[in-house]
Structures are given as C-alpha cells and as structure tokens.
Amino acid sequence: MSSKSEQTGDRIAKVIARAGRASRREAERLILAGRVTVNGAVIDSPALNVTDSDRVTVDGVALEAPEAPRMWLYHKKPGLVTTHRDDQGRPTIFDDLPDDLPRVMSVGRLDLNSEGLLLLTNDGALKRRMELPSTGWLRRYRVRVNGRPTDAMLQPLRDGIVVEGQRFQPMVVTLDRQQGANAWLTVGLREGKNREVRRAMADIGLTVNRLIRVSYGPFQLGQLKPGEVQEVRGRVVRDQLGLDGAKPDRPKPSRRRRGKPG
C-alpha cells in the first residue's frame, strides 16, 4: 500500500529545486513562463504536486533523480554580489566558483563589501532549513570599526536594539583590540537581518570598514583562502544536520575559476 506522501507527492517547484535545475522561486517563474511540462502537458501554475511516477521536463529536458544533499564552504571575497544575476552587471559569487562545481545555492547572503564564510548547497530544502532562525546557529564575524568603542558603548548591542523600527536580537560582542583609529570586534548573531551588523554599529556611532564572517554554526572558515571552495564531508553534513545519504565527495579545496585556465 502506498504511503500518504507517495500518494500526494511534492510540489512541482520543490521537485525541480531538489533536482538541482533551479531554486524554488526560479522554478515557479519557469512554470509561469510555460517552460515546464508534466507527463507531456505544459503547466502554468506551481500549485501542483507530482510523484516519482510523473515525467517532468524543464525546457524540454527531463529532470534527473535528485542528487544527495551536499554542502561546500566558500571564502567570499569583497566586491562580489551573492546572487545568480545582478541587474547592475556587478560580478557575482557564481562567476567566481570553480568550473567543476554542480549548480549550487547560497545559504543566506553576504553583502557586496563583506567577506568570509559562505555556505553553498545543491539542495533547496537544506538551504531553507539552514536559513531558519529556529536553527539557532551562531554566526560569528570579525568586524573592524572606525572609532574607539568601549564596553559601555557596546552594551546596547548585547541587550538588543531597535534600528529604524526593526528589532535586532541581542548580539555576542567582544572588544578584541584597538589598532590606531580602528578597533577589531568579534560579533555573534543567531539571526541575520539585512546588513544587521553594519546598521547596528552605525546606530551606536561606529562605522564598519571591514566585516569577515568566520563561522556559521559548526562550520568554520579556518584556513580557506579567498575564492577557495571546499566540500564538507558527507559524514559531517549527516551528523550536523541529521541527513541521510549526504555525499562525501572531494573534500579538498578547489581554486579553479570559471572562464580561467585550470
């Protein structure tokens, strides 16, 4: 007898995303554009569930079975946008990734001028799960600010502040050292709103002039050089996220870029 999940299947956009053909949102746009068929018929709404017995194509190409969930660590350089396409024509992180990487999505974002650890995955469901605030993972940053902060000055960040009507949860903030006109801080967040660190620092009178993410939950930037990508071992992905079937391929760093000789 078939289980309920086998009978009802999954939403078509989720199936396309799990097969690595597009993100869930991109898949919905492809459907609305009439570029997806199910069992030979063009569909025009993402409000459809499909099962393994249905034949789905995107732009005439049948979906392959979804890959096992995989994850990579990537050291983002400043000056790159965390998006697949940029309306202003700025370079993106996906222009910088190695040729041999499969189609991946970023877990969250780092803004244009920020650098450091960005997690990549081939699995849309894993991406969404890791981005949820309920995951509770601490994201740590090394932050250089212009000014002479004191513990008293930083205390509002530890208590939780409201910036432009938006409440930021309490941060873990330590003052590491003063270096001339600048100071280095370590900042920890459990949820990351848009430009949260920069906006919070500006609110207490400090200007961020360098921001490096050094960890995301249990995943560390470590010695990864700018532009390098390293796959997380499947066993680690399984242990940290409780996943079955995570693929353990190629854990060594990769430096080769698209459009450049290897």
Catalytic residue numbers, as ranges: 111
- Give the torsion sign (CA, 64, 66, 68, 69): positive
| 75: β partners | 117
165/180 Cα distance (integer angstroms): 33
Report whether 224 contacts 253 (CB < 8 A). yes
Cα-flanking dihedrals φ and ψ of residue 134, to 5°?
-65, -15
Task: Give the number of C-alpha atoms closer than 13 A to the C-alpha of residue 199, restricted to the C-beta side.
Answer: 16
Helix (H) or strand (E) holding 220: strand 219-220
Q: Strands 172-179 and 182-189, how do they pair?
A: antiparallel
Report whether 40 contacts 55 (CB < 8 A). yes
- b/e map 14-47, b = 16+ CB within 10 Å: bbbbbbbbbbbebbbebbeeebbbbeeeebeebe
Q: Which of 40, 38, 42 is nearest to 15 (CA)?
A: 38
